[in-house]
Structure 1
Amino acid sequence: MRLISLREHQTYECETPTAAVARAMKATKLVDTSLTLDGRLLLRSGSMVGAARIVAGDEHVELHVRPKIGIARLLWLLGYARDPRGWRTEPVGLTPDQDLVPAMAVAFATATSQALAPGVLQGYRTVEEALPLVRGRLREADQLRARPGLALPVEVRYDDYNPDVPENQILMSAVRRLRRLPGVPPATRNSLHRIAAALADVTPLTAGAPIPKTAPNRFNNRYQPALRLARLILAGQSIEHVHGSTLAAGFVFDLNTVFEDWLTTALRQAIETRYGETITGQHQMRLDHDRLLPLVRPDITWWNGQRCLAVVDAKYKTPGSTPPRDDIYQMLAYCTTLKLTRGHLIYASAGAEPVSYRLKGSGVHIVVHRLDLSTPFTELNEQINQIANVIASVEVASGVSAHTAGPDAAAKEGGYAS
């Protein structure tokens, strides 16, 4: 087994594998591939992180791409986007240079083993089936429809106390997915086998079906850390690529989507709590009156009924000294369509105060924010609050939307050359 490990947005040069393996690497979307002048393979990772196993004949390759922000911070971003109350801190015991799949597998196996140590959670589940005797309640309509004139078997409905409850179904589904992934350490794989044996009477979730909600209560509180990790594992995108005798399988997250989902939730918490109204993600709209152009979806919008108060686009990239022209043009289109004089671009990079660019001929200001995801939680939370203040400052000053006035955080003025 050959292991290739990269960080996001890294270039890596290696000995050229077979053409089939090179094609399968590119098909995983973890890397782009090209050849150097001397015939070596050049791999360029992007914003996709995860792991894939590629098998082509006798050649076996494991490809891992790690996030720069570290595994613990990535898991926190993923979890916070789904449940802000449940993810107050990062998972413990994870180091920044761990690969994604081993880290998730170790954390999940540890949390699940602890959850199951007092015993497997059980609960009542309503069962409908045909039995040779009456148990619970007779389903008369079903009996007459399925077996008119026959006494047995009997269509019944009853409550059965067993471990086949949603909490265990989620854990079992995560175990099954992890056991198929590359890079799980042998000791952790053994732990997953023991967990699967403990949950042998549990029905896994159907592939593609929504993950059931499981509200915390006094019975399942010990399951919550394991359930949070299980939901993240099930949320990851599976890789399945088959071309002839070449197979690529794995598990990835798109950091662009991770950052956008987390930022939507973080701004919703910061803005709705302090200023009110509604934060919406991926609002669909048209740029033209005749509805001929394709739909566009700004990442984040803030609404007071039918009136848009602010528009925000999340960018998981480092913009350089000034934002890329395409980002400016995109935000200008959003502001024009939504009748706004101010739009916000938020980049996942370290930087100074927000800068506002006044665009000629439109009256639109585009405010550029930089958000450092690697900072401690208190600083990251402060950055979010500062951005929320800048976004809300115009509406608060005009008295249109705020429930309570926030501090004035006017951005520095700059210029953008067309």
Structure 2
Amino acid sequence: MTRVVELVEHAPAVSVALPDEAGRAVAALRIADAVPDTYSPGRWLLRAGSRVGAVTVAVPGHDDPLTLRIVPNVPIVRLFFLLGHSLDPTGAWRDGEVGVAEHRDLLPALAHAVERQVDRALRQGLLQGYRVTEETSMVVRGRIRETEQIRRRFGATLPVEVTYDDFTTDIAENRILRAAVERLLRLPGVPREVRRRLLHQRTRLADATVPVRGRPLPAWRPSRLNARYHHALHLARAVLEGASPEHGPGGLRVEGFLFDMNRLFEDFVTVALRDALRGSGHTARLQDRHHLDEASAVRMRPDFVLYGPDGIPCAVADAKYKAEKRGGYPDADLYQMLAYCTALGLRAGHLVYAKGNASHTAHRVRHTGIMIHQHALDLNQEPAGLLADVEEVAWRMRNG
């Protein structure tokens, strides 16, 4: 019987009876912070960080697998808004189409959302396209690969090494959707009805090859022809990027799905800022590469750099998935932003936090004239209010 332990994102640690192998696996795979409980042998102190979701750890020789459910601080429906906006800021599927409000936990909501989007994508049938195929054949089809023919066949006439374009449903788009469906079907905690519908989608995608685990996913490009697949492919990517390792140290079996809230918040803020500044004549670059020193030995990558019409940086921002504590935000964030402003020659920098005691504060650095702004976004508010707050940050960046 599976034992379920529920942790809350960034909440105090809890003491859990746990085999040492499982405790070490939780720590090594960074599922949560895990250290032995010095006061209670056989127990571990578990504390969730910014990764949320559900993971099951099965230890060889132990009959009871452990499932860790890590609950986010924001409501599930708001988490999906952040995800949806970062994947597709047009908002075509975020409002009312995903329908995750009925689910309390992240994994059931995600599986439900993916199944609905895959179903919408496939309603008109599987997308077909041309795929380059290389194979050994007894008949000539397409073009003969002369180099391979000589290397492998030593001048023999048959079989023939050929390459040709095949019009098929076994294309990148269908492969990615099937990979996401297969991944969800292996995860614990997917509701029975959702699992049944996922099995139906797998049947519809049966002709698509499942990508080999551990290898990069096949590449696809958005186009008019695959437009009905876009939303499903965006969600599929989120599923496949958030998959946890399936095997841990010492033969442990680890299955689950985790979202990194740090990355999710960063993606939302940078995409929302870029969208808010569109049409202003400025250019936004995400994760822009720069160097702190003149010798270019110390690298830095601000989350968001805004360039003016002249191509010169005019603003910089960094997203921090942190809430302001009683003592304020960490001073290290201010020092980091000061370094960004100094290296980029800017008079102002912007730190965007997940929550704070005030929506905006500013610090002028002595002897430099540099102003560092600290903005706080309340993730619990409605999407319209959240986007309005992001637009205010964008206005301050654009107007100095």
Give the TM-score taking structure 1 as reference length.
0.83
User: What is the correspondence of 1:114-153 to structure 2 with a 5 Å cutoff?
Assistant: 114-139=120-145, 143=149, 146-147=152-153, 149-153=155-159
Deviation per residue, 1:238-295 (Å, 9 max, x gap): 3345232433333222111111122111111112x24223222222333333455x42
Q: Is 1:158 aligned with 2:155?
A: no
Instruction: Judge conservation of contact 1:351–1:372 (CA < 8 Å) in 2.
Output: no
Give how far 1:70 is off: 2.7
Equivalent residue number for residue 411 of structure 1: none
Q: Equivalent of 2:216, from 199, 209, 221?
A: 209
Q: Is 1:76 aligned with 2:77?
A: no
What SS does structure 2 have at the residue aligned with 1:238?
A: coil
Which residues of structure 2 form unaligned runs of 5+? none
Stretch deviating more after TM superposition (88-97 or 193-202): 88-97
1:381–1:140 Cα change, 3 Å? same
Equivalent residue number for residue 13 of structure 1: 14
Equivalent residue number for residue 381 of structure 1: 387
Equivalent residue number for residue 26 of structure 1: 27
What SS does structure 2 have at the residue aligned with 1:239?
A: coil
Deviation per residue, 1:207-240 (Å, 9 max, x gap): 342552242435x444344323212112215334
Equivalent residue number for residue 305 of structure 2: 301
User: What is the correspondence of 1:391-410 to structure 2 with a 5 Å cutoff?
Assistant: 391-394=397-400
Equivalent residue number for residue 175 of structure 2: 169
What SS does structure 2 have at the residue aligned with 1:316?
A: strand
Percent identity, please: 40
Give how far 1:148 is off: 5.6
User: What is the correspondence of 1:7-406 to structure 2 with a 5 Å cutoff?
Assistant: 7-11=8-12, 13-34=14-35, 35=37, 37=39, 41-56=44-59, 57-58=61-62, 59-85=64-90, 87=92, 89-90=94-95, 91-95=97-101, 98-139=104-145, 143=149, 146-147=152-153, 149-206=155-212, 207-217=214-224, 220-240=226-246, 242-271=248-277, 273-291=278-296, 294-304=298-308, 307-320=312-325, 322-349=328-355, 352-394=358-400
* Aligned equivalents of 2:391, 2:291: Cα separation in 1: 31
Equivalent residue number for residue 407 of structure 1: none
Instruction: Judge conservation of contact 2:341–2:370 (CA < 8 Å) in 1.
Output: yes
Give how far 1:38 is off: 5.5
Instruction: Judge conservation of contact 1:13–1:43 (CA < 8 Å) in 2.
Output: yes
* Aligned equivalents of 1:386, 1:364: Cα separation in 2: 20
Stretch deviating more after TM superposition (188-197 or 257-266): 188-197
Stretch deviating more after TM superposition (177-186 or 52-61): 177-186
1:225–1:285 Cα change, 3 Å? closer
* Aligned equivalents of 1:380, 1:142: Cα separation in 2: 58
Give how far 1:353 is off: 4.1
Give how far 1:198 is off: 2.9
What SS does structure 2 have at the residue aligned with 1:204?
A: coil
* Aligned equivalents of 1:270, 1:344: Cα separation in 2: 15
Equivalent residue number for residue 4 of structure 2: 3
Instruction: Judge conservation of contact 1:167–1:214 (CA < 8 Å) in 2.
Output: no
Give how far 1:60 is off: 0.6
Q: Alpha carbon RMSD of aligned pairs, Å?
A: 2.8
